Amino acid sequence: MRAVVRRRYGDPLEIRETPAPAAGPREVLVEVRAAGVDQGVWHLATGLPYAVRAAGFGLRRPRRPILGLDLAGVVAAVGPEVTGLRVGDEVFGTGDGTFAELAVSTERRLARKPERISFAQAATVAGSGVAALQGLRDAGRLRSGQRVLILGAGGGVGSFAVQIARILGAEVTGVCSAAKADLVRSLGAAHVVDYATGEPTGRWDLVLDTGGGRTLRALRHLLTPAGTLVIVGGERGGRWLQGSDRQLRAGLLNGFTRQHLTGLLSKATAPLLETLAAWMASGALTPVVDRTFPLAEAASALDYLRAGHPRGKVALTL
């Protein structure tokens, strides 16, 4: 099968013929129709920040040469112990090495794709949609009627978060560049702040931080006295931690203030994917795909993500 590989961190991405994987007894083999491209893929391609390597992805070399985690596709084979999915089912979720024609996953990492949603859209959900859901509902304990501030509202996680916060009944303020203001409003934000011309002023029950790299102190100033801060991530900071020290410091400070300060480590599981699938099926949630690239242009897709300020998400299609 064709797959996008890199043998060492930072090597140019190549498309190569590689042996096709097979489904083990509890595994599902998916014929990949689309794969999500996000900042996490770039981190695993480059091995930066170095903290990523220490997190089990391979210290000196990538443990898995094939890139990609998010997918949408059609079940091609199931192991004998798989009971909930059959060959031919259309699914989305995560797999091992999804920038490839075939990828292995499990029932616990997949859900059925709603008909209303394209494969490209569905392929963007497991990373960004799940992070938005867990960040707002679980880590953020968002309740109906609360006011939420979403930093990076027009990006991958942010474009899901604005919609999910609305579904959960919150009043949303989105912070983004001027080019994305119309998108963020159309997704349901009541207020939009262009970060180039001014910082948000006010206090929010929940702040979800997905971009901009503001200091912990600046983020806390945006919270009500008992408000909640969820730091999802950001692309600023040094090569060792890339700003993840903010999450660590938030965790340390958390016990000493009335505010609730936390980082997020999201993980796509079938129940989370099914919640998102139900919202997508009803039309309440629609993944925003800015642009798709063919598998062979994975490197261009990553360049576009890093430099192009996409509106919402980027995906590879096969």
Ligand X SMILES: NC(=O)c1ccc[n+]([C@@H]2O[C@H](COP(=O)([O-])OP(=O)(O)OC[C@H]3O[C@@H](n4cnc5c(N)ncnc54)[C@H](OP(=O)(O)O)[C@@H]3O)[C@@H](O)[C@H]2O)c1
Which residues would be at the binding site for ligand X (CB under 6 A)?
38-40, 127-128, 131, 151-152, 154-158, 175-177, 180, 195, 210-212, 232-235, 264-266, 309
- Of 22 and 265, nearer to ligand X (C-beta) is 265
Residue pair 146/154 in contact by the 8 Å Cβ criterion: no
CA distance readout (Å), 29 to 41, 105, 129, 243, 310: 21, 6, 23, 36, 31
Shortest spacing between CB 121 and ligand X, in angstroms: 15
Count Cβ atoms below 10 Å from residue 61 Cβ, excluding itself. 14
Name the amino acid, one letter, at 307: A
- Of 23 and 305, nearer to ligand X (C-beta) is 305
Count Cβ atoms below 10 Å from residue 64 Cβ, excluding itself. 13
Residue pair 314/151 in contact by the 8 Å Cβ criterion: no
Shortest spacing between CB 234 and ligand X, in angstroms: 5
Shortest spacing between CB 54 and ligand X, in angstroms: 16
Residue pair 174/184 in contact by the 8 Å Cβ criterion: yes
Q: Which helix (H) or strand (E) holds 188?
A: none
- Of 314 and 318, nearer to ligand X (C-beta) is 314
DSSP 289: E
Put the strands of the sheet holding 204-209 in their side by side order.
Answer: 191-194, 171-176, 147-151, 204-209, 223-231, 260-263
Helix then strand count (H, E) for the chain reads 10, 15
- Of 122 and 176, nearer to ligand X (C-beta) is 176
Shortest spacing between CB 255 and ligand X, in angstroms: 21
Shortest spacing between CB 40 and ligand X, in angstroms: 5
Shortest spacing between CB 77 and ligand X, in angstroms: 30
Nearest to 291 by CA among 45, 120, 154, 127: 120
The alpha carbon of residue 240 and the mean position of all alpha carbons in its chain are separated, in whole angstroms, by 21
- Of 264 and 289, nearer to ligand X (C-beta) is 264
- Of 114 and 200, nearer to ligand X (C-beta) is 200
- Of 107 and 209, nearer to ligand X (C-beta) is 209
Shortest spacing between CB 183 and ligand X, in angstroms: 10
- Of 81 and 138, nearer to ligand X (C-beta) is 138
- Residues forming a β-bridge with 75: 30
3-state secondary structure 84-114: CCCCCCEEEEECECCCECEEEEEHHHEEECC
Burial 91-105 (b: 16+ CB within 10 A, else e): bbbbbbbbbbbbbbb
Shortest spacing between CB 171 and ligand X, in angstroms: 18
